[in-house]
């Protein structure tokens, strides 16, 4: 039997106009991105004659669409998911739900699955926009799948984290503020720590005093950038490329390890990245693993918060 | 029910864990099968606030049990502990023979709960709303159509079956919530202020509905501020204040035990009206006999003035706010 919470959420979500407004805004902004990038490159006058240039345009378009898609997901997910549990509380519908035979984990999973289903709808709707880049060349079908896939993974992890945080709040407004604050933290915490430590170190040489490159990995932008890296993708030109460049620099300061303090021992070797080789430990896997651990911990906490009988009314 | 209800005053201390009455006598415990809810020395503390203080309570099966008390008396907290939502700080509670803290799912299968705040999913249709809770109680999909028909008929919402929940009046939403609480056919219904905010007609309809449910064999535990309503409907009541149980039993029983006097207004054939004060049923019967037989007066009306539950409530409670 389908999770009852999932069924109800989907029914309610699709019944309101909000879902269609979000899809409309999402697609409009992606189409605008394609138009602006295409116009920007076309104005150079080289696009019709230079195949290499056209291929590069395809890659540019792909990366810009990915970046805007990621930015929109990071913007929409907290707004759409923050009310998951807090909304039930605010509408006074949580207590009737808690006295049914549904287990707390079913309630939580239902909420997350409903949000994920909507994400799937958003990302599937974006496929035709992504195909424009494919038609221009410079990317393979696999690149498109990888791009949408990694954005989906990041979105799912963020959804889980925001839904879990929603269990802390009594009002949707508070939950929304917490959700956006947390999303900002996920995006900024690692880079802020890393660059602050790097400024404090000042040497920038490959020594043990350098900040660990791992600080840059659990960032959604870095995860998408690393997972979608391809030819010509380390040059400057868009935020994904900038992020990739910073990751490469950070690793080089750490003797190609994610952790500056064990660059040469056996344990450290497992986390080493060998520039130019494919047998390294990718940043996106490390970043996804860290975010997964945070999402898992928060989920357990949220399920515990939903458990009754409780010591206090939640 | 007078022989099965225990009475306890606020200062009644338990003897060997058994509740005692106001005279310090151990109250006879009822067999478990006859009891829907039993609370023994039940307490709930929130920080420095003692919301429920050593409550001893027995709700007989098949009764309509009214829990009365001013705001902050601890009624909703007591209900939340019965309904598997809150864990007691100390003491023990059993609901349909099971401990809600130890076996919440066992209790949930046999208990329907309607909280004091009316929360419904506005973007669902009435039938979808019931379907959702039927699914949440693990009821097979094949049973849903007949279940929905039966419940909507019971709560008189059949004509609203396809309406959106947000289009219903407050009274209708209240009845829909009741249908929701009944979806798994529980033996016990816990209703926290179900009549609050309802207009007089909706209140009467709700009261009739609860009586119907009681005749179907369901035990109903209800709280309300509208005492006249409870008086009309409840077979048993308990009065709480500041987390403590002040009295429990039938209203008449409590009046008698507390020695409360009542006023009887008599109208004679001459048109004259006189008021008499009596202390109990025996005195009331003696008064009537005296007027009719001894004094041979033509009595056309003999009415006990209804101050009833309200009077009782005012005489027992002290207006203590925690």
Chain B partners of A93 at a C-beta cutoff of 8 Å?
A: 119-121
Is domain B32-257 in CATH 3.40.50.300, yes or no? yes
CA dist B67 and A25 (Å) reads 53
Contacts of A153 (CB under 8 A, 6+ apart): A223, A288
CB contact under 8 A, A99 and B85: yes
Distances (CA, A) of B312 to A10, A101, B273, B281, B320: 51, 40, 25, 16, 16
- At residue B92, the 3 state secondary structure works out as strand
Which residues from A are below 8 Å from B87, CB to CB?
309-311
Residues B188, A58: Cα–Cα separation, whole Å: 67
**Distance (Å, rounded) from C-alpha B74 to C-alpha B89?**
14
Q: Residue B176: helix, strand or coil by DSSP?
A: helix
Q: What is the pLDDT of residue A266?
A: 56
Q: Are A98 and A116 in contact (CB under 8 A)?
A: no
- Which band of pLDDT confidence, cut at 50, 70 and 90, is reported for residue B28? low
Q: Are A151 and A70 in contact (CB under 8 A)?
A: yes
Range of the domain at A161: 4-306
pLDDT at B53 over 70: yes
Q: Which residue of A has its CA nearest to B84?
A: A309
Tokens 């507390």 map to which residue? B258
> For residue A276, what pLDDT is reported?
46
Question: What's the token pair of residue B194?
Answer: 């179900």
Which residue in this structure is represented by tokens 């056996």? A266
CB contact under 8 A, A92 and B115: yes
Confidence at residue B6, expressed as pLDDT on a 0 to 100 scale? 35
Q: How many CB pairs under 8 A join A and B?
A: 90
Q: Cis link prior to A160 (omega < 30° from 0)? A: no
Note the pLDDT of residue A28. 95
* Contact (CB, 8 A) for B163 and B124: no
| Chain A residues near any Cβ of chain B (below 8 Å) | 1-2, 4-5, 7-8, 11-12, 15-16, 91-102, 308-313
Q: How far apart are CA B107 and CA B112, in angstroms?
A: 9
- B261 vs B10, B78, B281, CA distance in Å? 21, 31, 10
Quick one: pLDDT at residue B264? 80
Which residues of chain B make contact with A100, given a CB cutoff of 8 A? 108, 133, 136-137
Q: What is the token pair recorded at A189?
A: 């915490």
Task: Choose among B233, B289, B287, B230: nearest CA to B263.
Answer: B287
Please give, rounded to a whole number of angstroms, the shortest distance from the CA of A17 to a CA of chain B: 11
- Phi and psi based region of residue B280 (left: phi greater than 0; alpha: psi -120 to 50; beta: remaining): beta
Predicted confidence (pLDDT) per residue in B169-190, tens digit: 988 998 999 999 999 999 999 9
From A72's Cα to the closest Cα of chain B, the distance in A is 26
pLDDT at position B125: 95
Task: Return the residue of B nearest to A6 by Cα.
Answer: B132
Buried b (16+ CB within 10 A) or exposed e, B235-248: bbbbbbbbbbbbbb
What digits encode the pLDDT tens for the residues B284-306?
Answer: 778 878 887 788 888 888 887 65
The Cα–Cα gap between B115 and B111 comes to 13
Interface test with chain A among B49, B85, B174, by most A beta carbons within 10 Å: B85
Work out the pLDDT band at B4, boundaries 50, 70, 90: very low
Integer Cα distance of B44 and B31 in angstroms: 26
Which residues are CB-contacts of B174 (< 8 A; sequence separation ≥ 6)? B118, B194, B195, B198, B202, B206
Q: How far is CA A289 from the centre of its chain?
A: 12
Tell me whether residues B80 and A313 touch, CB distance under 8 A.
yes
| A69 min Cα distance to partner chain B (Å) | 29
User: What DSSP state is assigned to residue B141?
Assistant: G
Question: For chain B, what percent of residues have pLDDT higher than 70?
Answer: 83
Q: Is residue A311 situated within a structural domain?
A: no
Give residue-wise pLDDT tens across range B206-264.
888 899 999 999 999 999 877 777 877 889 999 898 899 988 888 777 766 666 667 78
How far away is chain B from the Cα of A45, in angstroms, using its nearest Cα?
Answer: 53
Question: Roughly what angle, to the nearest 10 degrees, separates helices A141-166 and A283-306?
Answer: 30
The angle formed by the CA atoms of residues B44, B63 and B243, to the nearest 5 degrees, is 20
Residues A96, B177: C-beta atoms closer than 8 Å: yes
pLDDT value of position A250: 81
Pick out chain A residues at pLDDT < 70: 1, 42-50, 52, 203-209, 231-236, 255-257, 259-280, 314
| DSSP classification of residue B292 | I
Tell me the sheet residues that pair with B131. none
Q: What are the sequence ranges of the domains in chain B?
A: 32-257, 262-316
247-306 in B: which are within 8 Å (CB) of A?
A: none
Give the model's pLDDT for residue A251.
Answer: 76
Whether B51 and chain A come into contact, CB under 8 Å, resolves to no
- Report the candidate in A110, A118, A70 with the shortest Cα–Cα distance to residue A238: A70
pTM exceeds 0.90, yes or no: no
pLDDT at site B319:
64
Instruction: Identify which of A240-249, B117-126, B303-312 has the greatest average pLDDT.
Output: B117-126
**What ipTM does this complex have?**
0.84
Residue B131 tokens read as 């379907």
d(CA B281, CA A210): 92
Nearest to B40 by CA among B66, B62, B20, B68: B20
CA–CA gap between residue B227 and residue B233 (Å, rounded): 10
Between A27 and B319, the more confident residue is A27
Q: Identify all chain B residues contacting A7, using CB atoms and an 8 Å cutoff.
A: 132, 135
Give the angle subtended at the CA of A160 by the CAs of A229 and A103, to the nearest 5°: 150
Q: How many domains does chain A have?
A: 1
Q: Locate tokens 């307490």: which residue?
A: B43
Asked if pLDDT for residue B12 goes beyond 50, the answer is no
pLDDT of residue B35: 92
Q: What is the mean pLDDT of residues B152-177?
A: 92
Q: Rounded to whole angstroms, how far apart are CA atoms B216 and B187?
A: 9
For the record, the structure tokens of B116 come out as 């004091």
């Amino acid at each position: 039997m389908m999770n009852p919470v999932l069924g109800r959420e989907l029914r309610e979500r699709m019944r309101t106009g909000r879902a269609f407004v979000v899809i409309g805004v999402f697609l409009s902004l992606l189409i605008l991105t394609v138009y602006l990038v295409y116009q920007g490159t076309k104005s150079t006058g080289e696009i019709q004659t230079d195949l290499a240039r056209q291929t590069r345009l395809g890659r540019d378009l792909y990366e810009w669409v990915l970046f805007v898609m990621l930015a929109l997901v990071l913007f929409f997910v907290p707004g759409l998911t923050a009310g998951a549990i807090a909304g039930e509380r605010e509408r006074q519908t949580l207590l009737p739900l808690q006295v049914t035979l549904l287990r707390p984990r079913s309630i939580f999973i239902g909420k997350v699955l409903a949000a994920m289903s909507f994400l799937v709808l958003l990302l599937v709707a974006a496929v035709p926009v992504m195909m424009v880049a494919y038609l221009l060349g410079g990317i393979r079908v696999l690149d498109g799948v990888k791009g949408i896939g990694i954005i989906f993974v990041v979105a799912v992890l963020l959804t889980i984290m925001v839904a879990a945080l929603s269990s802390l709040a009594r009002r949707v407004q508070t939950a929304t503020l917490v959700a956006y604050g947390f999303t900002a933290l996920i995006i900024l915490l690692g880079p802020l720590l890393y660059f602050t430590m790097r400024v404090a170190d000042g040497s920038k040489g490959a020594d043990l005093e350098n900040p660990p490159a791992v600080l840059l990995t659990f960032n959604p932008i870095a995860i998408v950038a690393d997972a979608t890296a391809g030819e010509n993708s380390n040059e400057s030109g868009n935020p994904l490329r900038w992020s990739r460049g910073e990751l490469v620099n950070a690793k080089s300061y750490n003797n190609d390890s994610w952790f500056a303090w064990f660059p040469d021992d056996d344990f450290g070797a497992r986390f080493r990245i060998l520039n130019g080789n494919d047998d390294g430990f990718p940043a996106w896997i490390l970043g996804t693993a860290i975010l997964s651990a945070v999402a898992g911990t928060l989920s357990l906490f949220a399920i515990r918060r939903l458990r009754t009988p409780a010591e206090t009314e939640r | 029910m007078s022989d099965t209800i225990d009475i306890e005053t606020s200062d009644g201390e338990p003897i060997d864990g058994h509740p005692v009455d106001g005279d310090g006598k151990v109250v006879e415990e009822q067999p478990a099968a006859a009891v829907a809810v039993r609370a023994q020395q039940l307490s709930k503390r929130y920080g420095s606030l003692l919301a429920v203080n050593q409550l001893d309570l027995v709700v007989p099966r098949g009764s309509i049990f009214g829990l009365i008390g001013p705001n902050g008396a601890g009624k909703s907290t007591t209900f939340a502990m019965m309904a598997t939502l809150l864990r007691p700080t100390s003491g023990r509670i059993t609901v349909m023979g099971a401990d809600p803290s130890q076996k919440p799912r066992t209790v949930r299968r046999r208990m329907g709960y309607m909280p004091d705040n009316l929360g419904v999913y506005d973007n669902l249709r009435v039938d979808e709303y019931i379907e959702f809770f039927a699914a949440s109680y693990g009821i097979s999909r094949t049973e849903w159509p007949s279940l929905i028909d039966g419940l909507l008929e019971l709560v008189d919402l059949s004509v609203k079956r396809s309406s959106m929940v947000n289009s219903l009046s407050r009274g209708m939403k209240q009845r829909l919530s009741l249908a929701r609480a009944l979806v798994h056919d529980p033996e016990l219904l816990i209703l926290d202020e179900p009549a609050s905010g309802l207009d007089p007609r909706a209140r009467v309809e709700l009261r009739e509905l609860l009586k119907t449910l009681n005749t179907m064999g369901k035990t109903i535990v209800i709280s309300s501020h509208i005492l006249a309503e409870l008086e009309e409907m409840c077979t048993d009541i308990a009065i709480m204040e500041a987390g403590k149980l002040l009295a429990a039993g039938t209203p008449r029983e409590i009046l008698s035990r507390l020695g409360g006097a009542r006023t009887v207004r008599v109208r004679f054939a001459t048109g004259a009206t006189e008021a008499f004060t009596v202390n109990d049923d025996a005195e009331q019967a003696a008064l009537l006999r005296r007027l009719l037989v001894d004094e041979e007066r033509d009595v056309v009306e003999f009415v006990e003035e209804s101050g009833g539950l309200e009077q009782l409530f005012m005489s027992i409670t002290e207006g203590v706010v925690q």
